[in-house]
Structure 1
Amino acid sequence: MMQRKAWLLAGASLFVAGPAWAQDANDAAGSTSPPEIVVTGANKFGQDLDRAAVAATSVDAEQLDAYRITSVQDVAVRVPSLVYNNPSNFAQAFIRGLGSNFSLGGLESAVATYVDGVYLQRQNGAAIDLVDLSGVQVLKGPQGTLYGRNATGGVILIETADPTDRLEGSVMGEYGRFDSYRVQGVLNLPVSQTIAVRFSGQLKGNGDFSNNYYDSSIKRGRSRSYYGRAKVRFSPTTNFDATYMLEYMEQTSTSFSQRETLPSPYCQVCFLFGIDAPGSDDFYDNSQTDGPGVKDDVKFWAHTLTLDYASDDFTVSSVTGYRRQSTPLSDDQEFMPPDFFRSHVREHGPNFYHDTYIRTDFDGPLNVLAGGSYMDEDNTQDVGFTGLAFGDLDVRNRNEISVKSISFYGEASYDITPEVRVSAGARWNQDTKKIHVTNNDGARIALGLPEEAADFSVRARFRSLTPRLVLSYDGDAGYYYASYNRGERSGGFGSPIIAPGAAVDPETLDNFEIGAKNSFMNGLLTTSLALFYGSYKDIQVQVVDSQTGSVLLQNAAKGEVKGVEFEATLKPAGGLILSGGVTYLGNKFNSFPDANVFSPFPSYPGDADYPADAPPCGSAGAPASACGGLDGSQKLDLSGKVLPRSPKFAGFVAANYETPVFADWSLRADAIARFTTKYEFTAGAGGLLRNDIQHGYTKVDGSLALASDGGTEVGVYAQNIFGAKFLQFAQTASFGAFQVRPMPPTYGVRVKQSF
């Protein structure tokens, strides 16, 4: 049924553009010039980002290659206000401190990701490989009018390279430390004067890099991925363009080195089984010996049809996407040698997305943009628990989720003078979410669920209106704007859920911003500055259920988001380009008096409920409540405390240099350093233990290459040259506190041939 909807709407899109196609078909007869149309499916502003009223960073194909940005996560090296972690293949993207930790079907991230204009609904598996792109754009701050719900923090726009009218291609290979490899190929074929095709593919992987603290024969970290894309572009006229894209990706990974970081009795498995806690001998050691540790597979097929018709007065764009994804995840919950508690989740199902809009380009002062979008997702999550904690019980849970979203949006701009423009717009959105939950007898017994939890359904509907108002000035001195935007992250369910309960309400951000984009010295120096303040309400906070270990959600807080962003690029003579940027954030919870913060024990010295003269857990005479089992909830007042993923300062500095060396060969050197002050991974940073913190660090990457005019390139690269120690994630949970650590510093060689 979902596939039928995809092709019906794709056909409707063709019908809309059909008259325009027929009208200009004769104009293309005998034409050999490339199409004049500019595809606008990914960026709806209809203007260069340096003349758009939004704080944005654009990373083009050359920069992606120079800084070896191979996945969406890596883009953060070039975007100071973006914190992007990827534990267990969950795309934890935070822009200006707004994002999401772990969200499965029924609840989406506060940062939206689009590929060629198609929204990626699921957080699991969204940190995709970047292969053969034209660029990546990061729009900062709420984008609720043009890009819909779930864009409270901002939007990441990924634009794949389109087929061209030239025969061209490339082959690239890399090999480095830990047997890391990457092989990539691109072939562009002009089939006729109106049809061109482009094929792109990549093989990528690495060997084990993490030793087990308890058993050195056990290694972790191996991963591999396969990616392929075929793209066909049909341009029968200079006005009409149709592009179809087929994508496939398969990724298998155990590259998440998880490690318990607390000793007994805080490490409850250590306390229960008399195991010594892991020491700190090697930062990259892991502490899991049972099973494969963390194993996460991602597999998807995706179809995208993009239609564009452009005349002198308006442009019509239509994007239709269908994506079928499967993501099995196996996770060791206690991160220690006993096979005590392991979870298995398989999230799978199709997603359909369609967006059509029209944008005018009249000579007069008034222009409009108007459109509508529709999304339909079916998501099934099969969950199982195994291990000593469950004995012989067969523990299974299933969540069947349906999400339907429809929206209509529009914006009008009026030029008061040739330099001064006022714009106003809004989006109306409706989400309908349904979830059907079944728990088998083993789940009800093991998790202590009531009889009504065996089979139940929950339904919720959310409506929202997100307005936008902008005043801008575009003159010789630069581009300046002042804006108000509302963003909303939709309400929903913190799946997988095991017991009946109400859906969480949406969270909203009302953002006020002023910005300036300038060019000096005849374009040799460009700068971008933004100052922003936002009122953040009904914040969706994730809480660990101390009885079941599942993740619950609550609208528990109010906060504010405020800061300053600055970026600059300088192009002095001699083939040198210098760039840099910095972000300051002053985000905080204004009101969060009864925050549920989880620690691996319910009470301890320093708690009001713990007797002042009682000995601590694990010592002689300690009361049973001092160690407690799984009940580790605390109530803390987080009012005035910082929002998660909100470093006070973060930034980058980069240098790119190219110079001729001999004959037709040139030398190219690229280096970039990303720095950040400390930030917290979770609200409250793990309670009084303060374990869920990333301390400040600076990561430096670089490459050196010789390139010829004939398209040959030979070089070397190094990632994290000085061995900065940073984390993918840290969380205090049911059995203790764990950290996810990334791959150690890597280096290698690279060869590329283009034609």
Structure 2
Amino acid sequence: MTAVFVPQLLAVGYGAEEEKKNDLYYLEPIVVTAEKTAQDVQRIPGSVSAYTKSAIEERHVEKLYDLTDYVPNVFVKKNSTENIISIRGISPQQGSLFSATGLYVDGVNYPIHQMQNLDFLDIERVEVLKGPQGTLYGRNSEAGVINVITSQPTDEFGGKVFGEIGMWDARGGVPIYREGATVNVPLVQDTLAMKVALQNYTTDGWMENTAPGSLEDATRAQHFNGRVTTRWTPTAAWDVSLILQGQHEADGIGVYRFSDGPFATDRNEIAWNGPNKNSVDANAQILKAEYHGAEVDITSVTGRHSYSQDYMYDMDMTPVDLYPQYPVFNADYDVDIWSEELRIASKPGQGRRFDWLAGIYVYSEDIQTGNYSITDHVTDQDDLGGALFAQGTLHMWEKWHFNLGSRIEYARLEGKKDVNSGMMGMGTMHLEDTVEDTVFLPSASISYDLAPQVMTYGKVSRGYLSGGFDNYFAMSQDLFSYEPEYSWNYEVGIKSKMLDNRLMMNLAAFYIDVDDKQVVEYVSPFERYVVNAAKVESYGVELDVQYKPMPGLTLTGSLGYLESEIKDWATEGYNARDYSGNKTPGAPEFSYAAGIVYRWESGWYIGADVVGVSSNYSSAENDLKVDGRTLVNARMGYEGEKFDIMLWGRNIFNEEYEERSMKWLGGTLIQEGEPGSFGLLVAYKF
């Protein structure tokens, strides 16, 4: 773990372990596969942030949403059972099944919000692509894409065993435990190797349920996840990997409390007399085969993913039964996904006049959802689709580079829904509909090399968020389905390294235009529907700097400025209002990070980061504003040949903050943010 974590638009990674000493003096490049081929991240004409294995571990980043704190203009709208990722102000409507940000793990898509709360385990690299990525990734990448790449086996036997004990700065101190191991085993020298990674995490959590008779900790957590990767390299041309992974989670989801009103509680306390449970079981199988020929590279990625979630909580979130006929809200999700991507690309290398890539992608999804409260909604959704895509870059006059890409994508979603609204006196009903789309997703960019390590670029790209079905509320055929939304992204930027690779400075400006925005409109207090009724605009600037003024010392800084606004949306009838001019929910105007770390050649290090966002709104009504927050994280430790030790702290000043808020039962219901936490991590390497 020798790299310095860089919270910036284009993070810089580091190479092999033997380059540790050089890391103290200058910034090393990092190779990414954001555009489906291996490239230096600084040479991509677009906004890509890359975070290496050592970068993630050195900042003690354990979850995907912790990493987003360091990426400007990326914000996670958290709630108890899902994390909705917003990039540059673009996110889906409340209640959407699909995310507007594509999440891919080893090339396989995780399409719904509930699947996007990842625990990190032996991660090789994370790449964050901002702006629509329709050409190479297709549907539901309207805001951007996050690629998670796990570590591969090597030809050397070795591994690591680690244990961690921590403490929440709440309830008088609540322990946190994490333990795990990774082991790499070469089975056939230079031909076959296997890597196993396991991790377990447990805590009783920082929130306490003070309701009389409550026996459950509000935010308890027990997570176990594991992975087995087998890599076969029979010849120099072939590289085949089989990845098997699984996870189990059993959590409490009591994070909502009343900050005022008749049911108000103190910080880190709730008072629920109902259930508070969330369980997740998932597994995935991924087969990746690469052939490296003399003239072309061919890649196949086949994936299957099964995901199951079941949760329930107190309907009114109070210590009394205000709704005795339906005291509990319960939901379940069962998702089975199969996908195949086959692509062929020209060989990467210097001096080539034209680089190109082409591919085909097919998928099928079986998604079953159930939501049970005042009415019961059970939906079975069968999706299938395919795409043809291609991209090419023409290198002209040595310094000019022109890139064109296009994708034709077909998607067919078939939905069937059974509604039981007997409690409302409306009986049962059956709904069926089909949403079918064929879309064209082009992109184009031009870049110019001002100097060997200074590049300017301009880019335009189209993205779309697929249509779908209202799984949660719709009780009539007319309100069951909705159509896709589309966006165009316009971006200019400059990427640079200076002062003999000791200073990196990157600047990007963007404008995003979203048409046919999917929004929620209510026809009664109990019934709503999703319509394509709004227009949204987002624009902003992102600045990132990393500087090594002297050996061992690294300074980092990033700043995101964002204006995201609803330009045209008005409703009539029940709850009529004009939303035009309102801010987009979950889109802070400012996001920022600054860090300092010093490393000695002996292996000792010390560092700290400040991360924060400005205020933002929880809903399109803009009736409740969530205050901004500034958190301080710190760590110090030692990295040796056999032992690693780290003393870490997150939110070390225990700042009180909210993730979201809403009006409910005469008060303000807020989701409590995590308090301070501290811990000691010890690892033995062999």
Does 1:155 pair with 2:92?
A: no
Q: Distance in 2 between matches of 1:634 and 1:397?
A: 23
Q: Distance in 1 between matches of 2:415 and 2:144?
A: 27
**How do 1:143-222 and structure 2 match up within 5 A?**
143-177=133-167, 178-192=174-188, 193-212=190-209, 214-215=211-212, 219-222=217-220
Instruction: Name the structure where strand makes up a greater proportion of residues.
Output: 2
Match of 1:458 in 2: 433
Q: Measured at CA, do residues 595 and 519 of structure 1 come closer, stay the same or move farther in structure 2, by a change above 3 Å?
A: farther
Q: Measured at CA, do residues 423 and 41 of structure 1 come closer, stay the same or move farther in structure 2, by a change above 3 Å?
A: closer
Does 1:572 pair with 2:549?
A: yes
Match of 1:381 in 2: 369
Gaps of at least 5 residues in structure 1 are: 1-37, 264-275, 597-632
Q: Measured at CA, do residues 245 and 457 of structure 1 come closer, stay the same or move farther in structure 2, by a change above 3 Å?
A: same
2:214–2:273 CA contact under 8 A, matched in 1? no
Q: Measured at CA, do residues 215 and 512 of structure 1 come closer, stay the same or move farther in structure 2, by a change above 3 Å?
A: same
2:480–2:529 CA contact under 8 A, matched in 1? no
Match of 2:7 in 1: none
Does 1:518 pair with 2:496?
A: yes
Q: Which moved more, 1:493-502 or 1:202-211?
A: 493-502
Q: Report the secondary structure of 1:75's partner residue.
A: helix
Q: Distance in 1 between matches of 2:495 and 2:345?
A: 24
Q: Report the secondary structure of 1:721's partner residue.
A: coil
1:592–1:637 CA contact under 8 A, matched in 2? yes
Match of 1:626 in 2: none
**Alpha-carbon shift at residue 262 of structure 1 (Å):** 5.0
Q: Distance in 1 between matches of 2:202 and 2:673?
A: 14
Q: Distance in 1 between matches of 2:400 and 2:436?
A: 40
Does 1:467 pair with 2:442?
A: yes
Q: Measured at CA, do residues 731 and 45 of structure 1 come closer, stay the same or move farther in structure 2, by a change above 3 Å?
A: farther
Partner residue of 2:84 out of 67, 92, 95 = 92
**Alpha-carbon shift at residue 214 of structure 1 (Å):** 4.8
1:372-422 Cα offsets, whole Å, 9 max, x none, are: 11110111123333xxxx6xxxx6432111111211111122222111111
Match of 1:370 in 2: 358
1:86–1:127 CA contact under 8 A, matched in 2? no
Q: Report the secondary structure of 1:170's partner residue.
A: strand
Q: Measured at CA, do residues 336 and 101 of structure 1 come closer, stay the same or move farther in structure 2, by a change above 3 Å?
A: farther
Q: Report the secondary structure of 1:179's partner residue.
A: strand
**Alpha-carbon shift at residue 215 of structure 1 (Å):** 4.2
**Alpha-carbon shift at residue 531 of structure 1 (Å):** 0.6
**Alpha-carbon shift at residue 184 of structure 1 (Å):** 2.0
Q: Distance in 2 between matches of 1:63 and 1:551?
A: 44
**How do 1:413-432 and structure 2 match up within 5 A?**
413-432=393-412
**Alpha-carbon shift at residue 180 of structure 1 (Å):** 0.8
**Alpha-carbon shift at residue 703 of structure 1 (Å):** 1.2
Q: Report the secondary structure of 2:242's partner residue.
A: strand
1:318–1:357 CA contact under 8 A, matched in 2? yes
**Alpha-carbon shift at residue 486 of structure 1 (Å):** 0.6
Q: Distance in 2 between matches of 1:753 and 1:310?
A: 36
Q: Distance in 1 between matches of 2:610 and 2:508?
A: 22
Match of 1:561 in 2: 538
Does 1:583 pair with 2:560?
A: yes
Match of 1:354 in 2: 340
Q: After TM superposition, which residue ranges in structure 1, 4 or more long, deviate above 3 angstroms?
A: 38-43, 100-104, 212-219, 361-364, 496-499, 542-547, 731-737
Aligned length: 640
Match of 1:486 in 2: 462
Does 1:499 pair with 2:468?
A: no
Partner residue of 1:228 out of 213, 226, 229 = 226
Q: Which moved more, 1:427-436 or 1:240-249?
A: 427-436
Report percent identity of matched pairs.
Answer: 24
Does 1:323 pair with 2:305?
A: yes
Q: Distance in 2 between matches of 1:117 and 1:208?
A: 33
Q: Distance in 1 between matches of 2:520 and 2:119?
A: 28
Q: Measured at CA, do residues 156 and 639 of structure 1 come closer, stay the same or move farther in structure 2, by a change above 3 Å?
A: same
Q: Report the secondary structure of 1:74's partner residue.
A: helix
Q: Distance in 2 between matches of 1:101 and 1:457?
A: 22
Match of 1:701 in 2: 633
**Alpha-carbon shift at residue 370 of structure 1 (Å):** 0.9
**Alpha-carbon shift at residue 423 of structure 1 (Å):** 1.2
**Alpha-carbon shift at residue 543 of structure 1 (Å):** 4.5
Match of 1:435 in 2: 415
2:355–2:393 CA contact under 8 A, matched in 1? yes
Match of 2:606 in 1: 669
Q: Report the secondary structure of 2:114's partner residue.
A: coil
Q: Report the secondary structure of 2:247's partner residue.
A: strand
1:653-690 Cα offsets, whole Å, 9 max, x none, are: 11221125xxxx532112211111101122123xxxx2
Letter in 2 for 1:678: S
Letter in 2 for 1:482: G
Q: Distance in 1 between matches of 2:415 and 2:52?
A: 41
**Alpha-carbon shift at residue 131 of structure 1 (Å):** 0.4
Q: Report the secondary structure of 1:68's partner residue.
A: coil
Gaps of at least 5 residues in structure 2 are: 1-29, 168-173
Letter in 1 for 2:463: G
Match of 1:308 in 2: 290
Q: Distance in 2 between matches of 1:683 and 1:518?
A: 38
2:275–2:312 CA contact under 8 A, matched in 1? no
**How do 1:225-374 and structure 2 match up within 5 A?**
225-261=223-259, 263=261, 276-279=262-265, 282-292=266-276, 295-339=277-321, 340=323, 341-361=327-347, 364-374=352-362
Q: Distance in 1 between matches of 2:263 and 2:392?
A: 62
Q: Measured at CA, do residues 543 and 72 of structure 1 come closer, stay the same or move farther in structure 2, by a change above 3 Å?
A: farther
Partner residue of 2:675 out of 726, 744, 750 = 744
Match of 1:273 in 2: none
2:275–2:313 CA contact under 8 A, matched in 1? no
Q: Distance in 2 between matches of 1:39 and 1:230?
A: 24
1:148-179 Cα offsets, whole Å, 9 max, x none, are: 11111100110100111111211111111121
TM-score, normalisation: structure 1 = 0.81
Does 1:530 pair with 2:508?
A: yes
**Alpha-carbon shift at residue 455 of structure 1 (Å):** 2.1
Q: Measured at CA, do residues 323 and 307 of structure 1 come closer, stay the same or move farther in structure 2, by a change above 3 Å?
A: same
1:42–1:159 CA contact under 8 A, matched in 2? no
2:32–2:127 CA contact under 8 A, matched in 1? no
2:521–2:529 CA contact under 8 A, matched in 1? yes
TM-score, normalisation: structure 2 = 0.89
